[in-house]
Structure 1
Amino acid sequence: MRARHHFHIDYRGHSISATVQTGHTPVVEILVDGKETAHATTRDDRPVTVHVELPGDPPIAVSVRATPGPGVPRCLLLGPEDQEGHVMAPRVY
């Protein structure tokens, strides 16, 4: 059964959102400032890392690490200087 889970974080003046659609082939979509910038698929409950760039001069490379399961999905934002990352808060739509 498929379900959609939404996550969000504000980072360095940018809005970063992630949608994780669970199921046999989970899909992860990343939006930066309201525009879809990347997506990825994975198998079963395997974590996936999606690389995106935040607009700027120069652009800032960040990654979103999505874990579809087991249980409730989770997302973590990894910035260029972050060792531990930032937990992206779940959002209800």
Structure 2
Amino acid sequence: MSRSHHFHVDHGAHSITVNVGPGRTGEIELLVNGKVVAHREEHEPGTTVLEGVLPEEPAHPFRIMVRQPHLVPTPPRCTWEMDGVEYVMPERYSP
């Protein structure tokens, strides 16, 4: 049985969280400081891109890439890109 995946990173005074629903096509939501700023009802295997903005002066845009393998049933991988640099987002595990 599939489970949901949760990725999180703190950047300065901001928190960025990505929730990926269960299954290979579940919904994806992007939260900044606990508020949903982007959402996809479903996604295909491959890479799904979501865009967000950190609420600071000046506003700071970033992208989230959720990579879901095409053939191999492995967990998704999540990275975030800001200022042209891509970072791996660690997965948060719930008991």
Question: TM-score normalised to the size of structure 2?
Answer: 0.83
Write the distance in 1 (CA, Å) between the matches of 2:19 and 2:62.
16
SS in 1 for 2:78: strand
Matched-pair contact (CA < 8 Å) for 1:77–1:87: yes
Once the two structures are TM-superposed, the CA of residue 54 in structure 1 deviates from its matched residue by 0.6
Q: How many residues were matched structurally? A: 90
- Unaligned 5+ segments in structure 1 are none
Tell me the percent identity. 31
- Equivalent position of 1:36 in the other structure: 36
Structure 1 runs of 4+ with >4 Å offset: none
Question: TM-score normalised to the size of structure 1?
Answer: 0.84
> Considering only aligned residues, what root-mean-square deviation do their CA atoms show, in Å?
1.6
- Unaligned 5+ segments in structure 2 are none
Show CA shifts across 1:17-36 (max 9, x none). Answer: 10111425332111101111
Matched-pair contact (CA < 8 Å) for 2:7–2:89: yes
Among 80, 84, 95, the alignment partner of 1:81 is 84
Write the distance in 1 (CA, Å) between the matches of 2:67 and 2:27.
11
